[in-house]
């Protein structure tokens, strides 16, 4: 019976066209760009027209040249966006859905090639990370919208065959922390205490070499949409330049996991604040990473991140 259910789920995913291949965690859509008509700006415009909010769109080659004096690819951009109405429905199922806010993608052209590619997460990966079933209608709709928008942005493209097989994660896909507020007073005092933690966290992350290209008080958007379950809900996009520089050299599609999204939220009536972000085991298992330099830089960043958060909340 279990195998039959699994087969039906996979069949549904393939029939609805929301994954490129049942075994892929990352989908790479590639089109010829010999005429140079597809640009970062043109892709962004298609996403905006589809109703996505753009959180970041960074030319990483500029950053790489500035810090490392070299680049790996003709074009390399990190792009983040989200669709708030679908995000709301997914957060109602699980606040963990916010780790996909924004959804990260990489846009790249390899040296010596006129092809342009966009990498993004498949439905099964979004489900795996958030813990929301791959049959959830809002998650399915989100995955379908991502695919159709990418396909419109890169006319006459096709999905690449991934050259590696995703492996079973060796650890948890989400790194989570929680801490108790010292006092549960008025809404203003709760807000002030959380903001104090956030200021310390942001300062410590910056000192440790992380950059935060985007911070979103998504809780305000949830309230505007009539969902007031949380006193506070903040989403951080966090990146360490050395990580994406190293990993993107041989695996440019890794931008589907970069920047990392850290969430911090507190439900009304609870004194507990929760923090979550997708761990490096997503990179390891989904991208089939084996190269030592990439493993080392990711493990190092994860260790630093955990230490910084623990020092902030203890």
Quick one: pLDDT at residue 106? Answer: 98
Tell me what the mean pLDDT of segment 17-39 comes to.
Answer: 80
Res 22 pLDDT > 80: no
Tell me what the mean pLDDT of segment 235-259 comes to.
Answer: 96
Element housing 140 (H / E): helix 137-153
pLDDT digits (tens, 9 = 90+) for 142-177: 999 999 999 999 999 999 999 888 888 999 999 999
Quick one: pLDDT at residue 187? Answer: 76
| Residue 104 belongs to domain with CATH number | 3.30.310.70
Instruction: For 140, list phi and psi in degrees, rounded to 5.
Output: -60, -45
Res 31 pLDDT > 50: yes
**Strand-pair category, 260-267 with 230-239:** antiparallel
Measure the CA–CA gap between 41 and 58, rounded to whole angstroms.
Answer: 11
Res 111 pLDDT > 70: yes
Closest alpha carbon to 126 in 136, 134, 117, 137: 134
Quick one: pLDDT at residue 4? Answer: 36
Tell me what the mean pLDDT of segment 20-24 comes to.
Answer: 54
* 8 A C-beta contact, residue 101 and residue 82: yes
Determine the structural domain holding residue 153 and report its residue range.
2-313
Quick one: pLDDT at residue 23? Answer: 53
Half-sphere exposure of residue 285, counting CA atoms within 13 Å on the CB side?
19
Look at the chain and report how many structural domains it folds into: 1
| Residues in the chain, total | 314
> Could you tell me the pTM of the whole model?
0.90
Measure the CA–CA gap between 144 and 142, rounded to whole angstroms.
Answer: 5
Element housing 14 (H / E): helix 2-15
CA angle 177, 180, 184 (to 5 degrees): 145
Quick one: pLDDT at residue 183? Answer: 73
pLDDT digits (tens, 9 = 90+) for 286-295: 998 989 999 9
Closest alpha carbon to 128 in 82, 178, 168: 168
Write the burial class of residue 53 (CB in 10 Å: 0-12 exposed, 13-18 middle, 19+ buried).
middle
């Amino acid at each position: 019976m279990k195998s039959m259910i699994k087969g039906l789920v996979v069949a549904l995913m393939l029939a609805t066209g929301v994954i490129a291949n049942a075994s892929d965690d990352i989908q790479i859509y590639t089109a010829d760009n010999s005429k140079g008509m597809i640009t970062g700006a043109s892709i962004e415009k298609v996403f905006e027209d589809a109703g996505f909010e753009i959180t970041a769109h960074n030319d990483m080659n500029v950053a790489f040249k500035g810090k490392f004096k070299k680049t790996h690819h003709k074009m390399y951009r990190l792009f983040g966006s989200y669709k708030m109405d679908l995000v709301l429905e997914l957060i109602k199922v699980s606040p963990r859905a916010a780790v996909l806010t924004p959804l990260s993608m990489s846009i790249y052209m390899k040296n010596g090639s006129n092809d342009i590619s966009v990498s993004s997460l498949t439905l099964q990966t979004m489900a795996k990370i958030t813990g929301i079933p791959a049959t959830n209608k809002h998650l399915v709709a989100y995955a379908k919208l991502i695919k159709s928008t990418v396909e419109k942005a890169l006319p006459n493209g096709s999905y690449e065959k991934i050259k590696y097989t995703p492996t079973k994660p060796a650890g948890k896909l989400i790194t989570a922390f929680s801490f108790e507020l010292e006092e549960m007073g008025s809404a203003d005092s709760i807000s002030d205490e959380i903001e104090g933690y956030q200021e310390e966290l942001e300062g410590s992350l910056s000192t440790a070499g992380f950059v935060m290209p985007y911070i979103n008080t998504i809780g305000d958007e949830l309230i505007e949409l009539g969902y007031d379950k949380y006193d506070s809900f903040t989403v951080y996009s966090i990146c360490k330049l050395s990580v994406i520089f190293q990993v993107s050299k041989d695996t440019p599609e890794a931008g589907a996991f970069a920047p990392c999204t850290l969430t911090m939220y507190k439900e009304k009536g609870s004194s507990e604040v929760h923090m979550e972000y997708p761990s490096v085991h997503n990179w390891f298992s989904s991208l089939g990473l084996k190269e030592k330099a990439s493993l080392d830089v990711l493990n190092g960043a994860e260790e630093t991140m955990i230490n910084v958060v623990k020092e902030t909340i203890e």
